[in-house]
Structure 1
Amino acid sequence: MDKKALSERDICSKCISPAIVAAGWDLHTQLREEVSLTHGRIIVRGKKARRDEDTIARADYVLFFKPGLPLAVVEAKDNNHTMDAGMQQALRYAEMLDVPFAFSSNGDGFIWHDRTAQDGIVERILSLGEFPAPALLWQRYLAWKGITPEAVPVYTQDYYPGKDARYYQLNAVNRAVEAVTKGQSRILLVMATGTGKTFTAFQIIWRLWKARAAKRILFLADRNILVDQTKTNDFKPFAGAMTKIENRTVEKSYEIYLSLYQAVTGTDEAQNIYRQFSPDFFDLIVIDECHRGSAAEDSAWREILDYFSSAIHLGLTATPKETEEVSNITYFGEPVYTYSLRQGIDDGFLAPYKVIRVDLDKDLGWRPPVGTVDKLGQVVEDRIYNQSDMNRTLVLTQRDEAVAARITEFLRATDRMAKTIVFCEDIDHAARMRQALINANPDLASANPKYVMQITGDNAEGKLELDNFINPRKPYPVIATTSRLMTTGVDAKTCKLVVLDRTIKSMTEFKQIIGRGTRIDEEHDKLWFTILDFKQATALFADPAFDGDPVVVWDPAPDEPVLPPDEAPGDPLGGADGTGGSNGTPGGSVDGPGEPTGPGRTRYVLDHVPVRIAHEQVQYLGPDGKLITESLRDFTRIQLNKRYASLDGFLQAWNAAERKEAILAELEKQGVLFEELAEMAGKELDPFDLICHIAFDQPPLTRRERAERVKKRNVFGQYGDTARRVLQALLDKYADAGITNIEHIEVLKLAPLNEFGSPVEIITAFGGKANYQAALQDLERALYQ
């Protein structure tokens, strides 16, 4: 067998796979080939998005002890490479999968990188017959992880079969179960919104429950919709063993309990129905969205956790960093695993975003004339009002109209049926914004009254439409105005526009709001989303804490009282089901109409103050996770200049290419979007002219102008009558549809070219295929002369 002549796939099938199987690895349960670990980052430019296939991480082999417990990665290369050529790639994938073993092979043998290094040798050369057996790697893996023989039955408990877990979900589940086997009683998992925290929690609970390491489990959340979604979706396999605590009644015959924390606590001792359970009743308590106050010593969640102190406490959050007053890490300890927003976007599991920051003139500072009286007859305080005052101490109704007009303008330019969430200061503001948006969209609002809906805690009809809003198959409602109801726990996969018109100072709240748009739904063409920011909230992107490593920011002194600002009395919407706020008070006021003004402060309402857009800025998420402020034109110029240092360099490459399509495809991979650029130019420009004009400041010609110039030069005189007429028709096709369309032989089947005969007959008129291709080259040279 001449290995040098074999492809990489042949090397795998003829050399590597047989060697692994011969070592005792089961072909069906332990060996998986061509495993895609990531989906590929989504690149957004203009209105278009595409996946960057070069960023897809795909391992040639992943070896498992059993499904869900990976042990090793093997990277293959063809035999023209050295044996260690795939090692760096294998090490990267091994790190992603949290495994200590990486192998590289070219079919002659293996290079084995062993992070356990029990004999002091990290890397060694193996023959094909020396590949290690599963039992050897498993024992080294257990020692590396520090898992004792007594803990193995729990750690190796099967996953629930069916939906495949992504690599980071496997890591999170395995790390959490590992922590339990090591006796850790407080466990924190940090996973960005949209990465499947509930599915991850289900698999953790399933494995611990099946292994009887946790016989009774309590799953706590602070939104009714969260609990209901969990029960009917991810937790459905628990079936008859599961119940939801509601109506303040307790049934102790179940093993899996789901509950709002507001449903089991209250200011009155009689409302604290969790005390009907014995303190040791639960073995495991899972706190979903645990950033919402469980770390605060006087929060309702801490009251429950302290009562069930003997249970394992597992916290799930997308936002490990809290305020200066509260840190989850102080309670739970360092996260056992973190998967960040940036990682999710880089891997292609989360949608990237574009930011449009809009500054309104009155937000930049406005002082009313002395003696101004508002619509309620109040004399407006004489001072300068700025952005933080708007819709809190000062309401300018024409400001609502300006915001609604900009939202409508954006939707008209993109998709008027795109799901949109508008975050407002409070319920009163959400109601006004609903009306402003209806008036800005009279045609669609008249066609269907649910085009714009107010979905807030006090609006029963609006809350009933929440399920329809988040259902991709339901077209209405399209636009939802809200305050805090939809900041968390709303799985709006098709949301394409997030509008920020509320003051956001908390990083926690900001990340939760942004999370409403980060989910991907390729079936419904949701690959990215836009943030329309009227409050400069996206300035928080500049904060290194936005997506950095979690750190402890709260170091309380003994007996220090704590009341986190974002958890002030009155939990948003009273848990969304009217059961009371986080401190047990019914309803709460955070999502109420008067909250922003505060005690002793006055709100002024003015109808006749004009408001206009003063400044607007568009930003894109760059590869490094930072926002880039540049136009599509500027971005394109930069990319083109990286590839072509001069106009002559580009012209040489363009004229030398047998098919222009190859050059265009390569540039599009780098983010150059010709369709968007042509739309921006407002002319039917050839990609050639777009490049020359944008990168090298050359005056452009339209495709039709180029075609007419060629016709006037009579450059086809040497061809016969039929061939000449074919070339004239190809010129017309170029003018209509562009260069890539005439480079394919299939164009000869289309009218009017098919009038000259079949493709074979047309090519014969040129004297054969080679002569036809040469004539096409002459045509292209004439076009771009």
Structure 2
Amino acid sequence: MDSATKKQLSERDICSKFITPAIERAGWDLQEQVREEFSFTAGRIIVRGRLHARGRKRRADYVLSFQKNQPLAVIKAKDNNHSLGDGMQQALAYAEALDLPFAFSSNGDGFLFHDRTGLSGQTETTLALHQFPAPQTLWELYCRHHGLADPASRRIVEQPYYDDGSGRTPRYYQVNAVNRTVEAVARGQNRILLVMATGTGKTYTAFQIIWRLWKSGRKKRILFLADRNILVDQTKSNDFKPFGQAMTKVSRRTVDKSYEIYLSLYQAVTGSEEEQNIYKNFSPDFFDLVVIDECHRGSAAADSAWRAILEYFSAATHLGLTATPKETRDVSNIDYFGEPVYTYSLKQGIEDGFLAPYKVIRVDLDKDLQGWRPTKGQTDKHGQLIEDRVYNQKDFDRNLILEQRTLTVAAKVSELLTQTDPMQKTIIFCEDIDHAERMRQALVNLNPERVRENHKYVMRITGDELEGKAELDNFINPEQPYPVIATTSKLLSTGVDVQTCKLIVLDQRIQSMTEFKQIIGRGTRINDDYHKHWFTILDFKKATELFADPKFDGEPVQVYQPNPGDPMVPEDEQPGAQPPDQAPDDPAALLQDDPAAETAADQPDQTANWQSDDQPPTGPLPPQPEPPPKPTRYVIDNVPVQVIAERVQYLGPDGKLITESLRDYTRQKVKEQYATLHDFLRHWRRADRKQAIIEELAERGIFWEELIKDLGRQLGDEPDPFDVICHIVYDQPPLTRRQRAERVRKQNYFGKYRETSRQVLDALLDKYADAGIEPIEDVKILNLAPFTNLGSALELVGAFGGKPGYTEAVKELESAIYSTR
């Protein structure tokens, strides 16, 4: 083929005529080893009012794998009007995301090969089409790069994933996590940490790791440890189900050593008495692999009773899984497990479209900001003399209760639910059980009609209240509408999978980054079946200031100081520290759900096994120390509390909350793309589809719905996105859509068309005035009313002389709509 003809070919033609044949000639199996047009992200969710759209998926032209579970290289194709290396930067970006050592770029004339390992002798090399490397060549370089020199280690990493034939395959980041872990084991690493954001499938990832190590024969007996019974049961019946008869759940009743996969609660194998330490019925070398789920909790502390299990099975490989590795001055996951072999963050999950984005509504209350001081000799509602000092946000709902504050918060929550969706699952995090109960009562009184429909509309779900705890399964079940609102203190902060939670309310002072990330994780899951694609955080206690902390979505950094003389973290900065006048949720519940309870959980506790399948231990209880006297808690019922500021913050495409005004942010983002009004107008006029520009700007972080509402309030009707940009960014006078439509009619625009064509265009203009530009750019609108009253879609298009004539007429209509004359 001559070069002139080749330059006429599309990118896909270059792939099919030149790149694919070259790969196949090099020995790559197109069915088993090559994935073309591989979309490896879901596309970031873009919120549009109550609707949502997806941004562009990241798509590699080719991903090459030695086996299905061992991706090696990515190829970026370009048409022949580009140079050989024009696609390399994009290829390298994909290679970095997919954790691949090799990247290729091609325009059909040959390949530019980039070796990220440096083992081939040169970083970038130009190759002819016939010089494309064979699978075994790249595999050898890969194995050398990852330290997999001996055949035994290679056999382990070559073990395939579990495949049930359903077509379900691990997502790209799960592949990365599994491969990095399996390779670490193959190299002999015995302490491994995986960090994956809540909702990204840690348990499924753990299953694939265990499956490959088990099937390869490298790990023959495996213990999976969790600290909540529901996690063990869900794991056994869901992700781990393929292990079948080789798997058992450890209980106190029997210790059967004939199985290979063991699932257990920490509490089911430990206790305060030596005979309760069931794990010692196994020899220290019985297990080859111990997987610790949510390893930031009880096992994180070096002196914990739960850590004793890991010390006992110290000869085994230990794999820790967590969304939030704990790194404080006296507790460290990294000190025990080492640096994470792989991290997949909340920010990355949202960017890829696998996790739900959020917006933050910050509400400031006058007493929170200004503080409150009693008058001389003032008593509370119980007649107690109130200590004379200034009380502020640290005190409220801990040692001083302003009852009107609770009502104000509950009213704001009810207002938001009424404005959006009164039936959306909502979790309200309170300071303690008493606060959660007062919040429940306030919400009941503010929502009498909802409560009359079902008294479970609002429920307190805390560790001390059996009726509320009994509703936990219904709350997390998407198919159960009630309870709708759960007030809690700690019980729902971690591990509870509320897939359809759309509103998280923070009326709790949160000092621990670990706890904050776990709480935010309650809202990040996506559920397409129940239209859960984003969530809102309503913050009354400035907790969301932690979003600005680099530690929120950065790599975990070890700050552990194991020397005995080191200072400890101040008590009020400990994760989830309880105020001195408050008893925590009951200890058993804390063991189940509360990251703040790790210290308590490490102490002898006769309730520790309440969640297991076993009977509680019998016999006399050891003497318990007398609890310290509770300090005074004041209750004030006659101090008004008002909202004095409210601010909405949106999550930008960079994963950070937008702190400036939405107008300033929009101005900055649009001018990055279109420096002047002339640039914007030129691009707008040339666009075949105006909606494509609107969607492109949405992907760049323009929040159309909010901007249209904001400017619409000023104009008294909804403006066009075109006017939003022209006004906010370039200071042009705006028009509403109806004003633009009326202006077209006054120009006698339809005069040149015949009756049917004129009726169609007039109806299109009405649609534009009602709904904007998007519907009129889709010819399928002719299949809807009122167009169906004028004739069939084929007849209506025929009135313009065919589809080209209809398309041209729509373009002319758009030109008239957006005329600047």
With normalisation by structure 2, the TM-score equals: 0.86
- Deviating more after overlay: 758-767 vs 521-530: 758-767
Quote how far apart the aligned CAs of 1:747 are: 6.1
1:629 paired with 2:693, answer: no
Which residue number in structure 2 is paired with residue 20 of structure 1? Answer: 23
SS of the residue 2:394 aligns to: helix
5 Å-filtered alignment, 1:520-539, equals: 520-539=526-545
CA distance in 2, matches of 1:283, 1:762: 72
Aligned equivalent of 2:612: none
Tell me the SS of whatever aligns to 1:515: helix
Tell me the distance in 1 between the aligned counterparts of 2:786 and 2:315: 81
Deviates more, 1:743-752 or 1:35-44: 743-752
Shift of 1:516: 0.8
5+ residue gaps, structure 2 = 578-583, 609-626
Q: Tell me, yes or no, if the aligned pair for 2:364 and 2:644 is still in contact at 8 Å.
A: yes
Identify the residue that residue 154 of structure 1 maps to in structure 2: 156
In the alignment, the residues of structure 2 paired with residue 562 and residue 723 of structure 1 have an alpha-carbon distance, to the nearest angstrom, of 79
Q: Which moved more, 1:441-450 or 1:666-675?
A: 666-675
CA distance in 2, matches of 1:721, 1:314: 74
How do 1:56-75 and structure 2 match up within 5 A?
56-75=57-76
Structure 1 unmatched runs, 5+? 589-596
1:594 corresponds in structure 2 to: none
Equivalent pair of 1:248/1:263 in contact (CA under 8 Å)? no
Q: CA deviation at 1:723?
A: 6.6
Q: 1:57 to 1:710 in 2, by over 3 A?
A: closer
Amino acid across the alignment from 2:605: T
Contact kept, 8 Å, 1:470 with 1:490, in 2: the verdict is yes
Which residue identity is paired with 2:151? Answer: P
Answer yes or no: is 1:196 the counterpart of 2:196.
Answer: no
| Contact 1:48/1:673 (<8 A) preserved | no
Q: Which amino acid aligns with 2:87?
A: G
Shift of 1:686: 3.9
* Aligned CA distance change for structure 1 residues 347 and 437 (closer, same or farther; 3 Å): same
> Structure 1 residue 299: deviation in Å?
0.7
Compare 541-550 and 43-52 and name the one that shifted more: 43-52
- In structure 2, relative to structure 1, the CA distance for the partners of 1:27 and 1:330 (3 Å cut) is same
Q: 1: CA distance between counterparts of 2:134 and 2:86?
A: 23
Post-superposition Cα deviations, 1:98-150, rounded to whole Å, max 9, x if no partner, equal 23222222222222222344452232222222222222222221111111222
Task: Describe how 1:606-617 pairs up with structure 2 within 5 A.
Answer: 606-617=636-647
Tell me, what secondary structure is at the counterpart of 2:112? strand
Matches within 5 A, 1:250-399: 250-364=255-369, 365-399=371-405
Q: Give CA-to-partner distance per residue, 1:191-238, whole Å, 9 cap, x none.
A: 121111111111111112222222221111122222222122111112
State the partner residue of 1:495: 501
Instruction: Tell me the residue number matched to 1:415.
Output: 421
Letter in 2 for 1:115: R
CA distance in 2, matches of 1:667, 1:442: 43
CA contact (8 A) 2:431 2:509 kept: yes
Which residue of structure 1 aligns with residue 459 of structure 2? 453
Would the alpha carbon gap of residues 625 and 204 (structure 1) be closer, same or farther in structure 2, given more than 3 Å must change?
A: same
Q: Report if aligned partners of 2:494, 2:593 keep a CA contact under 8 Å in 1.
A: no
Residues 653, 700 of structure 2: 8 Å contact kept: no
Show CA shifts across 1:256-286 (max 9, x none): 2222212222222222222222222221111
Q: Which moved more, 1:259-268 or 1:568-577?
A: 568-577
Q: What are the equivalent positions in structure 2 for 1:697-712 lying under 5 Å apart?
A: 697-708=731-742, 711=745
Matches within 5 A, 1:344-743: 344-364=349-369, 365-557=371-563, 565-566=574-575, 573-576=589-592, 581-587=601-607, 599-643=629-673, 660-661=690-691, 663-680=693-710, 681-682=712-713, 683-687=716-720, 688-708=722-742, 711=745, 732-742=766-776
Q: Residue type of the partner of 1:607?
A: D
Deviation (angstroms), 1:668: 4.2
User: Equivalent residue of 1:183, what SS?
Assistant: coil
**Which residue type is aligned with residue 129 of structure 1?**
H
Q: Is the contact made by 2:160 and 2:212 (CA closer than 8 Å) also made in structure 1?
A: yes
1:341-366 CA distances to partner (integer Å, 9 max, x unpaired)? 22222222222221111122222211
- Distance change in 2, residues 1:58/1:661 (3 Å): closer
Q: Would you say the 8 A contact 2:328–2:558 is kept in 1?
A: no
Q: Read off the aligned partner of 2:43 and give its amino acid letter.
A: G
Q: Which moved more, 1:318-327 or 1:654-663?
A: 654-663
Q: 1:641 deviation in Å?
A: 4.6
Contact 2:104 2:111 in 1 (8 A): yes
Q: How far is 1:536 from its partner?
A: 0.9
8 Å CA contact 1:248–1:271 kept in 2: the answer is no
- 1:143 aligns to 2:144 (yes or no): yes
Cα-to-partner distance string for 1:396-425 (whole Å, 9 max, x where unaligned) = 222221111111111122211111111111
Output the TM-score relative to the length of structure 1.
0.90
Query: What is the CA deviation profile of residues 291-315 of structure 1, one whole-angstrom value per residue up to 9, with x for unaligned ones?
Result: 1142322112221111111111111
Q: Which moved more, 1:219-228 or 1:764-773?
A: 764-773
Q: Which has the larger displacement, 724-733 or 450-459?
A: 724-733
Instruction: Evaluate the alpha carbon distance shift between residue 779 and residue 354 of structure 1 in structure 2; reply closer, same or farther with a 3 A threshold.
Output: closer
Query: Offset of 1:662 from its aligned partner?
Result: 5.0
- Give the equivalent residue in structure 1 for 2:231: 226
Compare 529-538 and 23-32 and name the one that shifted more.
23-32
Task: Tell me, yes or no, if structure 1 residue 171 matches structure 2 residue 176.
Answer: yes
Q: Which amino acid aligns with 1:546?
A: F
Shift of 1:160: 1.1
Taking a change above 3 Å as real, the CA distance of residues 635 and 164 of structure 1, as seen in their structure-2 partners, is same
**Contact 2:476–2:496, Cα closer than 8 Å, also in 1:** yes
In structure 2, relative to structure 1, the CA distance for the partners of 1:690 and 1:250 (3 Å cut) is same
The superposition leaves residues 34-75 of structure 1 with CA deviations (integer Å, 9 ceiling, x where unpaired) of: 22222222344665543221xx32111111121211122222
Structure 1 residues 150 and 599: CA distance shift in structure 2, 3 A: farther
Q: CA deviation at 1:392?
A: 1.0
After alignment, is 418-427 or 562-571 more displaced? Answer: 562-571
1:39 paired with 2:42, answer: yes
CA contact (8 A) 2:43 2:352 kept: yes
Question: Deviation of residue 639 (structure 1)?
Answer: 4.0
Q: Aligned partners of 1:685, 1:210: CA distance in 2, in Å?
A: 61
Distance 1:132 1:722, change over 3 A: closer
Give the secondary structure class of the aligned counterpart of 2:387: coil
Rounded Cα–Cα distance in structure 1 between residues aligned with 2:453 and 2:145? 64
* TM-aligned CA distance change 1:277 to 1:131, over 3 Å: same
Give 1:684's aligned amino acid: D
Q: Distance in 2 between matches of 1:651 and 1:19?
A: 44
Structure 1, residues 149-172: CA drift from partner, whole Å, max 9, x if none? 222222222211143111221121
**Mapped contact 1:68–1:159 kept (Cα < 8 A):** yes
Structure 2 partner of 1:3: 6
The amino acid across from 2:153 in the alignment is: A
CA distance in 1, matches of 2:800, 2:179: 67
Task: Read off the aligned partner of 1:206 and give its amino acid letter.
Answer: W
Deviates more, 1:655-664 or 1:506-515: 655-664
When the two chains are superposed, the root-mean-square deviation of aligned CA atoms in Å is: 3.3
Partner of 1:593: none
Mapped partners of 2:146, 2:687: distance in 1:
55
| Pair 1:755–1:34, CA change in 2 (3 A) | closer
Residue 329 and residue 567 in structure 1: after superposition, are their counterparts in 2 closer, same or farther (change >3 A)? farther
Distance 1:608 1:239, change over 3 A: farther
The 8 Å contact of residues 426 and 484 in structure 2, kept in 1 or not, is answered as yes
- Bigger drift between 766-775 and 629-638 goes to 766-775
Q: Is the 8 A contact 2:88 2:105 kept in 1?
A: yes
Supply the AA of the counterpart residue of 1:573.
A
